[in-house]
Structure 1
Amino acid sequence: MTDSSHLWTLEEISGQAYEVFLELAPDNLKAQDIEKFNQDREEHGFIEEDIADESWNTFVEFEIEPEDYAQVIVGLEYDSVGIENKDIIFAKILISRDKAASFCHIIWKD
């Protein structure tokens, strides 16, 4: 059993992942994607956090311990019928919840 006192909460790690996203997005997303995100994030933006699942094992070279990592997704979600836009995921982020061991891996939108 993992001692949770050395782990960031999902809410805390979500905020950290979002900061990393904002910092690295200009180098990893197309200019039109950044413009779209900035234009629509107030009304349609979302950050979804969850425990990391084993699907990350194909992207990193170690076994993911679900309680030690979080998956954070950053995107735009359009709920209204008739909106021309489809939901967009800009980044899927694997981030360590361990306060003493920082780690982050991002899969960016093509």
Structure 2
Amino acid sequence: MSGPRLFTVEEATHQAYDIFLELAPNNLSDKDVEEFNLHREELGFIEEDEPDEQWQDFVALEIEPEHFIQVLVGLEFDNEDVLFAKILISRDKDAPFCHILWKESE
């Protein structure tokens, strides 16, 4: 029996970013959305990595590092980075899953 069919890290990262763009207006303040849209071309970043331990506090499933990636979306300013979303997304084509931790409103 073969293992799960997985999206590439790049495919899953693109999916996570698309979901971020779709849901950001409902989950971020108008000010944050405006700031992100204004600066994303020159200062925006999308980083993918293995999921960190924090996710176990938020999701009730076993996070296998080869089946999930963590994607960070934000802006990189000279003095500080602003993280708008931390996304956990499944790479398993047959078990879609996505959970987003949004930036708190100020």
Same fold, judged at TM 0.5 (above): yes
**Larger relative helix fraction:** 1
Say how many residue pairs are matched.
Answer: 103
Structure-2 residue corresponding to 1:82 = none
Q: CA contact under 8 A between 1:10 and 1:50: conserved in structure 2?
A: no
The runs of at least 4 aligned residues of structure 1 exceeding 6 Å deviation read: none
RMSD of aligned C-alpha atoms?
Answer: 1.5
* Secondary structure at the counterpart of residue 20 of structure 2: helix
* Secondary structure at the counterpart of residue 7 of structure 1: coil
Question: Given the two structures, how large is their TM-score scaled by the length of structure 1?
Answer: 0.88
Pick the aligned partner of 1:108 from 97, 102, 105: 102
Q: Percent identity?
A: 62
CA distance in 1, matches of 2:81, 2:32: 12
Q: Deviations over 1:12-36 (max 9, x none)?
A: 1000000000000000000000000
Q: CA contact under 8 A between 1:68 and 1:97: conserved in structure 2?
A: yes
* Equivalences for residues 1-110 of structure 1 within 5 A: 3=3, 6-79=5-78, 86-110=80-104
User: What is the letter of the counterpart of residue 46 of structure 2?
Assistant: I
